[in-house]
Each structure stands twice: as structure tokens, then as C-alpha cells.
Amino acid sequence: MTNSRKLPFCKATMISRCVAAVAFCYLFYAIVVAAKTDPADYSALQAFHNGVSDPFHRLSNWQGDPCDDSWEGVFCASDANNLFHVTELRLLNHNLSGTLAPELGNLLNLNALDLMWNNFSGNIPSTLGNVLSLTLLLLNGNILSGKVPTEIGNLINLVRFQIDENQLSGQIPPTLGNLYNVQHLHMNNNSLNGSIPHELGRLQKAIHLLLDNNNLSGALPSELSNISTLRILQLDNNPFNPQPIPLQYGEMSSLVKLSLKNCNLQGSLLNLGRLQALQYLDLSNNQLDGTIQGSPFPPNISVIVLSNNKLTGDTSHFDTFENLQALILENNQLNGSVPVSLASASRFGSTQDNLLLDFQNNTISNVSSNLTSQVHGFTKLWLYGNPVICGSPPVELRQFCVPNTIVSVPDNVPDNSVTSCQAAACNPGIDELIPPLSARGICLCASPIKMRIRLKTPGFIFFDSYLTKFETFLSVGANLTLDQVFVASRKWEGSRLVMDIKLFPTISNAGNRSFNSSELRRIYDVFSRFQIPTDPTFGPYDLISFDFPFGTQPFSSQGSSGSLSKGAIAGIILGCAFGTSVAVAVGMFLLMRRRRLPKSAVNIFGRNADHGNIKISGVKYFTMEELLSATDSFSESHCIGRGGYGKVYKGVFKDGQVVAIKCAQEGSLQGFNEFHTEIELLSRVHHRNLVSLMGYCNDDGQQILVYEFISGGTLRDNLSPDLEEPLDFPTRIQVALGSARGILYLHTEAYPPIFHRDIKASNILLDEHKVAKVADFGLSKLAPTCEVDGSTPDHVSTVVKGTPGYLDPQYFLTRQLTDKSDVYSFGVVLLELITGMYPISQGKNLVREVNLTLVGGRFLSMVDSTMGPYPSEALERSLRLALACSSQELVDRPSMVDVVRELEDIQRSTPWMKSKAADSDYASDTDTKIFLSQKYLESSNDIWHVAPR
């Protein structure tokens, strides 16, 4: 921070600096005076608090303003009006009890509700179904009772729904089949009854479906096999109707674990050879009675549990399993001999790997000495209860003929290997030796994050051979080095594996051995928001506890003005109150001093920003020097646009690469964490109809994003009436479809989902092939805006973020942002495409005008005359679609999926456009396109209209 280089970015003239200073001052005033929590959110939290019993006073700081005063577990974001909304309520494992107030349903911007591992009782409030922004709803590990509200099915953005380990009863609502974004559905260990609704087969993104340990009856729905993404299906311990395993379950090619223990299954064993991904199969404690024939298991399987059935047949079918860990067949009627090939598995005899072969209580008649001679180390062969072998066993077989039970699954003790380091050198209770380093003779102490994780349904029963893989999985998933991750202990609880994990800081060259607060926050988010990509072998995990290192508190300065002295605030307020000239002075003073003020002075979230270079895979880090040279020191001639966020420059790097460089300006700066989050979010968003982020720069605490450069200009420019080559109708449909696909991706594929909030024709760019690219999405929308050029100095008091003419009237009225707000704005863009008009011109609103002319039957007069010929039916359908999108009421608007489908259909419905769709993606030769257009135009029987010029 001692760098004294002059502020280069968004280079302002002296005059615009003054104007900026005024704006900045106003902005500051707005933050200090008006930064507070939405009253609706505040009263919802109050109502929740009133229902909570908090014996350990964990919520003792719930006083004052929730966001401004950093209430425990409350996370906020501010809108354009500097009003804070609660976006997360995370109180996992806080020893809370009481009931969940229905007012929680008023937290309409809530993204994560995490109340796991407390003692909440009573019902799940049905009002939670109103919180459409929820992506994480985590209520597991409480004592909630009553039914699962059908309204939960409204939460179409939900990615994770965990209500396991409660006392919920009643039926599983069929509406849960509407949760088309849900990936994790954990409802095990309740008292749910009735049958599993076949609607769950519609969950096209589900990965884990856990319904075990309930009171479910009825038939196993064959529709579950429609979930092509499903990896874990666990239905153990439910009194289903006696029935065979549905045939369709043999086709679930992504399935890694199938657990149907004690499910009342009958009939013969289904051939599961086609489940190529299957690693873990448990069909024990049923009444399966067929004969095992052929080779019913995929070769890669590692655990097969078929105990306590009535299976017959020859055990020689159990062979050639490369990765076998356990073959548990006890208490059946199997005969034949134990296949010697089991002994040839590579793991045999290895001291690292376990292998359990349990043939107890069958009618096995033979075991080869080739096999038994190789059984040692961690291999176990259990043959007790097979009369022919163990009736009066010869000496060499006796050891295999003693009764054994799988009480706790055997595993090796954790490796506490002696190191040459003296643990005493560390401060007890504060720090400790870093085991991965001390194992290599490097003796350093540090204070770790301690967390407890439970693998809910791992794909193995012995952990040892997975230890390194697991540590690697955690370190890669959490973006740590392998040396930072240590599994300190592990314990099986039934089929679940509980582990205590320690995460150590990296050791800097300067010998610094502690996490900084942003790193702590990041790691906490990674684990508590389940951001580690799921691994098929390890399955879903529970986060049981998360303890920050000794003496750290990563969320301590969450409030918005926490790090400015009261005097400074008072001074600024006073200065602003004196009138513009004084304000300019104060503002300029502030601007000059800005670099000496703590960064949080301009940080609307006010957390202690910790400025270092962020490393995020997939995006490039640019230095200020590179950007300066690419933009001729941010000269005005490179400026290609300005928006709420700041200015946009065209940059050309030395290697000839052209980019668009977007600089945050005063007032648009986000907190460091938010900036980091935004980059991380944007780095994962990739779609051909979205402008991609290439990199960023945060030298000197500046916030600059570097995007791919799109050469064809904005859609608005391309609708200008005096273009030489105006867009023809098929191209307009193509552009509409591309934009719609981009928006749909933001709504459904981005995680967390992104609502654009500012869809407009000038935010849609066209490349040289007229492929639409939606621009300007991301969290920067949360930042307040303030025009540098001073044209709208009262900008900060705009009520709702968005652009007049495109703004969803419902959002405006209710401030409730939904995906349908983008649908509305998209409808306006579609009307612009059809009419060429601006959303608001001469005081007239396009949506209203079109509706009026439609009523008067005069609509054709509004069709853009530069567009050339168009098929009347396709135009009419597009128009109907546009008006449906821009309906006043949310319910009347189609979803983005439907919009895309309808546009695809419109495109398909005319041969001209079909060919266009097929070739426009790749064709660069416009002549070909025109030729095709003409050809199809001539051959088409459709009625074509040309709008009067």
C-alpha cells in the first residue's frame, strides 16, 4: 500500500473529478445515513429470534441493525438503494431450540437457510415456499415434526434440500418433483410414510436421493430410473410392499451406489451388469430367492452386500472384480466353491488394502488351498456355518471356520507415526505441529481450522486405501495444498464415516502461519455451502462442526461503516449538509486522501478488505502495466462505453488480442470479498451466448474486469434505422433465441443462479456472425451506482436497480426479484426486435403502445419497416411471446425455458429459418446466407409480408 503510483484508471479530468466528488459525497451520505436492513427482513429476523431458545447466548449480538451490526450468522447484500437484504442465515450447530417462525418466509432475498444440528422442534413453516431465491435449505439434525409442506415444491432454485434426521411424518409431497434444480435431496431418518411419489422421477439434476430409514410403503417407483444424473439411491429400512427390484433400475448408468437394504424385496436378483459406474451394492436383509446366474455385477464394483436373503446358485459367479473390497454373502443358500480368482485380485496380500470375503452360513462345498494360502495381512475369509467345509475342518482351515460378525467395520488405526519433531515446542491449546510437514521432518506449529465431516453414504467399507485420495479430494476441492489437509481421526457410525479434519495455513516465506480473514471466510463458504464438487466414491458429506483457528473471528467487521471513525462520518455528513460547494470541497479532500484512508472507507460492505492478488483458476491475472499499455493509459479514445459500474475501454494487448476492460469507479467498488466472489462466479459461467470473463486486475485495490471483446456492437446499435444492412427477421429471431439461451443459462446453470436484473438491448452484444452475447451480468449489480459524468447525481436514490422501460413493474412494486423479472425485460427486448422502437420514446411506453395497437387491430403499423419480408405466422407468434413475457402479472409470464422452446419452435416452423439456424452458427459468408434466404423464400408456401416503409 506504500506504492505511490498515480491513480490511473478511469482517468478523470479535473472537472469530472469534482463532479465525481459530489456524487461520491452523496453516495457516502447515503451509505452512512441510509445503510440499514430492509424493515421486512428486520422484523422477520425478530420474529425468528422470539421463537428461539438460546441457552448459550450465541445470538447475544442480535441487537441494533442486523446487517449493519453484523448479527451472528446473518449475511447481507445491499441493493442499489443501499438497503441491505438478508441473503443468508447460517446458524449451524448453535445449540438453539424452539420453533421456526413463519415470518422466515418474509426473507425474500434469502439464498441459504442453514439451521443444521440444533434442536428446533415444531413444523417446517409452509411460508418458506415463498422464498424463491433459496438455493440451500438445510434443516437436518433437528427434531422437527409434522409434514413436509407442499409449498417447498415452489422453490425451483433449490439445489440442496436437507431435512434428514428429524421427526417429520406424513407423505413426501409430489410437488417436490418440481424442484428441477435440486441436486441433493436428503430426507433420511424421519418417519415419512406413504409411497415415494413417482413425480420425483422428474428431478433431472438430482445426484443424491436419500430416503432411507423412514416408514415408506407402496411400490418402488420405476420412474426414478429417469433421473439420468442420479449417483446415489439409498432407500434402506423402509417397509415397502413386497416386490421385485424394478427392472428399470438395471439401466441407471450413472448410479454409483444402490442401497436397498431391508426393503422387502422379493424375487430374483436383477442383472446389474449394465450399471457400469456401480461401486457399492447393498441388497441385504430382503427375501431375494432366485438363483444367481451369469455375471450379474459390473466388473468395477467394490462392495457387494447380499447377506440375509435366500439366494441360491454357485458362488463361482463372484469373480473377476478388480476393485473388490468386500463380498458379504452370509446367510444365503449358495453352493459351489469359493472362486480362486478372488485371490488373483491385485490387492490380495497387500498390507495396505482390506478385503473381506464373508461366506458364512451357506452351503459352500469347496475352498481351494490356492486361495487360502494367500489369505493374510488385511484379508479376511469367513467360512463359518458351511457344513461341508467347517463341519470338521482340517487344521489349515480352522482359522476360517470361527464365527465372525461385522459389528464395527474393521479399519486400520490412524497413522500416528513417530516424528522427529517435539510437539512440546508448540503452545498447547493454541497451535500444534503440522502433521503433513512433520512427517517429512519439518517441525512447524500453526493453529488449524478444525472441522468434523461425516460421509453420509460412502462407496466403500474400508477407508484406508482411500485416505490419500480423500485428502487430495478435499485439498483440490477447497483450493488448498495437500500439506494443508490432515484427517486427524475417523470413526464408522454404521455405514457413515465420521472424520475430524484439520486444515492448516500455508507457510509463507516470511514464516507467517495463520489464515487471513478472507481465506477463512472462503474456506468456511466452501465447506458450509458444499462447493466441493461431489465425488462419486465419497458421496455427500455432512458438515457437523466448523471451528475457526484459535483467536480468529473472520466475520468481525461485517457492518457497513465499522472501520471509519465516528468523527470522520460526522464530518462527512456535516460537509454534505453544507451545500454543494462545501460538498465539493469535502469530497475533493476525501478523494485526495482516499489512498490514505482505510480501504473500507469506500467499501460498502465494510469488511476489512485484505488486498492481495486473488488466484482463481480459469481467469487470468493482468497487471496494471499490461492494462495501461493496452489502453494507451486509459485514454479517452479507448473509451467505448460507460454504465452504472464505470467505464469500459477497448484494449489491445501486445500479442494483438483485443479485450474490453471494465473499471469500477468510485462508489461501484465492492468489498474485496465480493469482488473475489464475483470473479469466481463469473469464471465459472461459460456459454456461447454470454460474454466471457477473461481476467481481472486488482493492483492497488482497484477492481477491473477484462472481458472478451465483441466486435459487432450492441443490439440497440444494430436496430438503428439508418444501417446499411438492417437485421432481417430470421436474424432477429436468431438473436432473440441466443439471448434467451444465455439468460436461461444464468438462471438454471450458474451456481448460485444469476438474475441479470438489467436485460436490455444495449446489454446484448452481437459478434461478427450476429451471434447474441449477453453482457453485464454478475454481482456488480449489487453495488450502488453513481455516474462519473455527473449526469444523474441523485442516481443513488433510484428505487430499484434496472433501466426505465425494461423494469419489471412487479419488481418495482414489491422489490421481490425473481427470474420472471428478467423474462419481463426480455419481452421488451423482443418487442424492440420486432418494432425497432425504443422501450420508451416521447414519453410512450412500448409495451403499452403495442398492447393498444393490438387491441385496435393496427399492429402491423408498428412492425419495423427496415426488417424486410417476414412470415406472418412467425411474426405473430413472436409478438404473442413478447407480450406474454411482458405481462403485468408474474404468473402470466412464461418461464425462460418456455421462451427458449417457443423461439426454437418459431425458428423451426419456417424452412428459411431452419436453414438459417443450421448455418448461421458457423457461416461467415453472408452471400451464402442471402442466397439461401432467397431460395427458401421462393420455395416457401408461407405467406410473407413486407412492412410498409
Ligand X SMILES: *[C@@H]1O[C@H](CO)[C@@H](O)[C@H](O)[C@H]1NC(C)=O
CA distances from 588 to 566, 593, 602 (A): 20, 8, 14
* Smallest distance, ligand X to C-beta of residue 542, A: 9
Applying CB under 6 A, the span of 59-67, 112-120, 506-514, 637-645 interacting with ligand X comes to 112-120
Q: Choose between 16 and 254: whose C-beta lies nearer to ligand X.
A: 254
Question: CA-based angle 549:552:553, to the nearest 5?
Answer: 120
Cβ distance to ligand X smaller for residue 108 or 233:
233
Interface region with ligand X, contact rule CB under 6 A, candidates 43-51, 209-217, 787-795, 832-840: 209-217
Distance CA 933, CA 912 (A): 6
Question: Which DSSP string do the residues of 18-41 spell out, in sequence order?
Answer: HHHHHHHHHHHHHHHHH-EE-HHH
Give the nearest distance from C-beta 193 to ligand X in angstroms: 5
- Report the C-alpha gap between 666 and 225 in whole angstroms: 54
Of 115-123, 587-595, 638-646, 699-707, which segment contacts ligand X by CB under 6 A?
A: 115-123
Residue 439 CA to residue 35 CA, distance in Å, equals: 51
CB of 160 to ligand X, least distance (A): 18
Give residue for cell 408474474: 890
Total site size for ligand X, rule CB under 6 A: 19
> In this complex, which beta carbon is closest to ligand X, that of residue 276 or of residue 370?
276
Does residue 121 belong to the site contacting ligand X (CB under 6 A)? no
Smallest gap from residue 276 Cβ to ligand X (A): 6
213 binds ligand X (CB under 6 A): yes
- By CB under 6 A, residue 284 contacts ligand X: no
Cα angle 653, 659, 664 (rounded to 5 degrees) comes to 110
Cis peptide before 752 (omega within 30 of 0): yes
How far, in whole angstroms, is CA 180 from its chain's centroid? Answer: 14
- Residue among 612, 919, 566 nearest 769 (CA): 919
Rg (CA), the chain: 32
Among 43, 215, 399, 841, binds ligand X (CB under 6 A): 215
Closer by beta carbon to ligand X, 147 or else 496 = 496
Residue 294 amino acid letter:
G
Name the residue nearer to ligand X (CB basis): 123 or 506. Answer: 123
On the 0-12 / 13-18 / 19+ scale of CB atoms within 10 A, 493 is exposed
Number of Cβ atoms within 10 Å of the Cβ of 182: 26
Asked if 816 touches ligand X (CB under 6 A), the answer is no
Nearer Cβ to ligand X, position 300 or 363? 300
Q: Count CB-CB contacts under 10 A for residue 350.
A: 14
Residue 655 buriedness (CB in 10 A; 0-12 / 13-18 / 19+): exposed
Set 164, 319, 358, 758: catalytic member? 758
Binding-site member from 118, 135, 354, 372 for ligand X (CB under 6 A): 118
162 binds ligand X (CB under 6 A): no
Are 296 and 274 contacting, i.e. CB atoms less than 8 angstroms apart?
A: no
237 versus 821: smaller Cβ distance to ligand X: 237
Q: 526 exposed, middle or buried (CB, 10 Å; 0-12, 13-18, 19+)?
A: middle
Neighbour-count burial for 591-618, b at 16+ CB within 10 Å, e otherwise = beeeeeeebbbbbbbbbbbeeeebebee
- At closest approach, how far in Å is the CB of 124 from ligand X? 18
Q: Which residue in 37, 87, 93, 362 binds ligand X (CB under 6 A)?
A: 93
Q: Which stretch binds ligand X (CB under 6 A): 7-15, 129-137, 213-221, 640-648?
A: 213-221
Please list the helix, strand and coil fractions of the chain in percent, rounded to the nearest 5, in that order: 30, 20, 50
* Binding of ligand X by 117 (CB under 6 A): yes
Residue 217, interface with ligand X (CB under 6 A)? yes
Instruction: Report if residue 145 touches ligand X, rule: CB under 6 A.
Output: no
Residue 320 in contact with ligand X, rule: CB under 6 A: no
Give the three-class secondary structure for 282.
strand
409 or 890: CB nearest ligand X = 409
Residue 165 binds ligand X (CB under 6 A): yes
| Minimum distance from residue 220 beta carbon to ligand X (Å) | 16
- By CB under 6 A, residue 191 contacts ligand X: yes
Residue 613 CB, nearest distance to ligand X (Å)?
Answer: 35
Query: Taking the complex as a whole, how short is the minimal distance between the CB of residue 169 and ligand X, in angstroms?
Result: 7
Residue type, 572: I
Q: Which is nearer to ligand X, 181 or 285 (CB)?
A: 285
- Contacting range for ligand X; rule: CB under 6 A; set: 132-140, 211-219, 551-559, 564-572: 211-219
Among 95, 123, 341, 895, binds ligand X (CB under 6 A): 95
Mapped onto helix, strand or coil, the DSSP state of residue 263 is coil
Q: Is residue 276 involved in binding ligand X (CB under 6 A)?
A: yes
**Of 67-75, 212-220, 554-562, 569-577, which part binds ligand X (CB under 6 A)?**
212-220
Q: Which is nearer to ligand X, 277 or 837 (CB)?
A: 277
Site string for ligand X, 232-261 (x = CB under 6 A): -----x------------------------
CB of 450 to ligand X, least distance (A): 13
Helix/strand/coil for 583? helix
CA gap 514, 516 in Å, rounded: 6
Known active-site residue 41: no
Choose between 302 and 731: whose C-beta lies nearer to ligand X: 302
Interaction of residue 189 with ligand X, rule CB under 6 A: yes
Q: Pick the binder of ligand X from 99, 119, 226, 320 (CB under 6 A).
A: 119
Which region, judged by CB under 6 A, interacts with ligand X, from 23-31, 70-78, 189-197, 731-739? 189-197
Whole-Å CA distances, 868 to 143, 443, 743, 863, 949:
66, 77, 28, 10, 10
> Going along 607-742, which residue ranges are E strands?
620-621, 639-642, 646-652, 658-664, 693-697, 704-708
Q: Is 764 helix (H, G, I), strand (E, B) or coil?
A: strand
In the set 121, 171, 193, 475, which binds ligand X (CB under 6 A)?
A: 193
Task: Report the nearest approach of ligand X to the CB of residue 210 (Å).
Answer: 10
- 851: number of Cβ within 10 Å: 16
Place of cell 434443516: 139
Give the shortest CB-236-to-ligand X separation in angstroms. 8
Distance CA 193, CA 171 (A): 5
Query: Which helix (H) or strand (E) is 833 found in, with range?
Result: helix 819-835
State in angstroms the smallest separation of the CB of 215 from ligand X: 4
Q: Which is nearer to ligand X, 256 or 903 (CB)?
A: 256
Footprint of ligand X on this chain (CB under 6 A)? Answer: 93, 95, 117-119, 165, 189, 191, 193, 213, 215, 217, 237, 276-277, 300, 323, 494, 496
Residues carrying an active site annotation: 758
